[in-house]
Amino acid sequence: MTVRLLNKFSEEELDNYKQTLFYKDQVLSSYQYTDKSLAYYSEYFNNEYSNYSIVVFDELQDPVLALYAFTKQPVFSHFGLPISVIESSFTSASKKNKAYHELIMKLNEILTADHFEELKFYTNDFLCAEYFSKISENEIEYNSYIDLDLPKEQIKSNIRKSYKSLVNWGEKNLQTVLVDHNNTDYDKFIEFRDFHILTAGRKTRSDKSWDIQFESIKQNEAFLILGYLNDKIASGSFIMHGKDTAYYGLGVYDRELMTKNVAVGHYNILSAVYHAKNIGLKSISLGYINNVSTDEKEKNIFRFKTGFSNSMKVKNRYEVNLT
């Protein structure tokens, strides 16, 4: 088996890697590792994170493991979040064991050579075994999600009881517009961008980051649902997605209407969920939070989002002290 850093691939090698079933089926399953998603987060964080991603190839030079990590000193992570390992379907336990052995050897080499002081990772049997004695913190992450294999009627019936009349109001009173790869309406996207700036009260990130998000729509890696009340934009939901899973990346709602208890967001979110189902995605994540969060705004937003689903995924986050 061989181990390579993704940033050392030649253009031809990178193209060949992206043609593999492993990349198309496993890596692109999640929105997190699409080209536009990686470009967006790099831009969002002012290109402060460097690509330390690792790929393990078997004897036939087929990729079998990938660890995507865009990180900066002194913490080895993926844009500040824990890293995950993407796995192929191994034909034997022996091959899987050998692949992880090679991956961890390379990871330890990087951590030592570049003097990292901390490592963050999500639950993984092999990483837990390797770093168990150095684990300094163990947090729990709660992720509110919706199983899109459910019929639409069931998805709607799972919504929090107090939300149902608000969803119904939105369905009757809001006009929704879909911006996706079949309708790349740039003017509508810019209207959403300007609506976000107006609602936030300031420009929170670069024009380039918005351009990347529009490109992700054109590349079928995202879509946008806009809601209008009396022909004026009142809500918007930007959804990022891979082959199987979607993520509720950004929601913007008219704050003045919300203070008047006008339900401009509820139906907009359900419309986004329905569209994710319509295009064949398997699940959509509405957001996550960890058990040690003390940010009341973050907690309130998460509580709001949990009202759209009766399902929650739970996984552990580990922090390793390398010093």
Q: What angle do CA 198, 290, 305 make, to 5 degrees?
A: 50
What separation in angstroms does the CA of 213 have from each of 1, 37, 190, 250?
A: 37, 8, 11, 11
| Separation CA 77–CA 83 (nearest Å) | 5
Give the tokens for residue 212.
Answer: 């990347």
Task: Identify the pLDDT of residue 261.
Answer: 87
pLDDT digit string, tens, across residues 196-251: 999 988 888 999 999 999 999 999 999 999 999 999 999 999 999 999 999 998 88
pLDDT above 90: residue 51: yes
Strands (E), 15-157: 50-51, 54-57, 63-67, 70-71, 75-76, 85-87, 118-122, 135-147
| Separation CA 34–CA 68 (nearest Å) | 11
Cβ proximity of 321 and 136 under 8 Å: yes
Identify which of 26, 166, 158, 161 has the alpha carbon closest to the alpha carbon of residue 84: 26
| Separation CA 37–CA 39 (nearest Å) | 5
Identify which of 200, 189, 184 has the alpha carbon closest to the alpha carbon of residue 253: 200
Q: What is the mean pLDDT of the chain?
A: 94
pLDDT above 80: residue 254: yes
Domains and CATH numbers, the chain: 2-122 (3.40.630), 143-315 (3.40.630.30)
As a whole number, mean pLDDT of residues 247-265 equals 89
pLDDT digit string, tens, across residues 128-138: 999 999 999 99
Confidence of residue 52 (pLDDT cuts 50, 70, 90): very high
Q: Which residues are CB-neighbours of 226 under 8 A, at least 6 positions away? A: 176, 177, 178, 179, 188, 191, 192, 233, 235, 236, 268
Going by the DSSP 8-state scheme, the letter that residue 29 receives in this structure is G
| Separation CA 184–CA 262 (nearest Å) | 29
Identify which of 269, 247, 197, 298 has the alpha carbon closest to the alpha carbon of residue 37: 247
